[in-house]
Amino acid sequence: MSDNWDFYFAKVNDKLASIFVDIGVCEIAPDADHPWLLWVWVCLNHPREDGLCNSEEADTLLQIEDSLTEAVGHAVQGSLVGRITTEGRREFYFYAPSFAGFDDAVVRAMQPFPEHRWDADNKHDPEWSQYLGLLYPTPRDWQRIKNRHVIEQLLKHGDPLKKKRPVFHWAYFAEDSSRDQFVAAVQDRGFAVTHQDTVDDPSCTQPLSVKFEREDNVDWDSMNLVTLDLFELANSLRGDYDGWETSVERET
């Protein structure tokens, strides 16, 4: 439905899951013209120990996805909105005007892949609960996604992520008392508060900013640990944690 896709890792039914989702379709969800949720679960033949996809099987699964997307789109005007890989299977989720013809379309799409077991079903989901309640990232998931984007840029510019370095953060609040409590809390965590300001925009609902920094590692696990703590802290004070940046540190 859109070209704006992203992925993240989460727990689904207490199991590790990789979720790849059409972020852009959120702008029209729920779509009253596509009230039927259609899904196909394809079993992995060689899953990893954690239940995710092995690299050796990745190309075949992409071919299956293309085949299903074309067949379901042609037969029922269904659109793929996301997929979940978990517990040794890949789950494909579509929304469509109707389910009539869906089963036959899946049979045709899976014919070139007889080595893969699969199952398909549908349900009426006019509220798009599967998309909005499971596939679409939660605010915590969004923070992890943003962390990955920054880390990918560091890697792209030749940073091996081995050096500790100053990391700069921002948060915004609606009330002085909330910002003051946040400042005290981050200082207790070893951060140095470097700037506080007020956004000069009458439409801004949280105009009170704070910039703060601390020297940290910037690998995936370290930044998730740091930023999710800051995210929860700001949220508990009715504020918004607004992300981080740092310098590129190449090996010499």
pLDDT at residue 15 in the model: 93
Q: Which fold has domain 159-246?
A: Alpha-Beta Plaits (3.30.70)
pLDDT at residue 202 in the model: 86
Fold: same for 5-135 and 159-246: yes
pTM: 0.90
Tell me how far apart the alpha carbons of residues 56 and 213 are, in angstroms, rounded to a whole number: 42
Tell me how far apart the alpha carbons of residues 229 and 235 are, in angstroms, rounded to a whole number: 10
Domain boundaries, the chain: 5-135, 159-246
Question: Which CATH number applies to 5-135: 3.30.230, 4.10.280, 3.30.70, 3.40.50?
Answer: 3.30.70
Three-state DSSP class for residue 31: coil
Q: Which residues contact 19 (CB under 8 A, 6 or more apart)?
A: 7, 8, 9, 10, 12, 82, 83, 84, 85, 135, 137
pLDDT at residue 200 in the model: 87
Tens digit of pLDDT per residue, the chain (252 long)? 778 999 999 999 999 999 999 999 999 999 999 999 999 999 999 999 999 999 999 999 999 999 999 999 999 999 999 999 999 999 999 999 999 999 999 999 999 999 999 999 999 999 999 999 999 999 999 999 999 999 999 999 999 999 999 999 999 999 999 999 999 999 999 999 999 999 888 899 999 999 999 999 999 999 999 999 999 999 999 999 999 999 999 986
DSSP lists the bridge partners of residue 54 as none
pLDDT at residue 32 in the model: 97
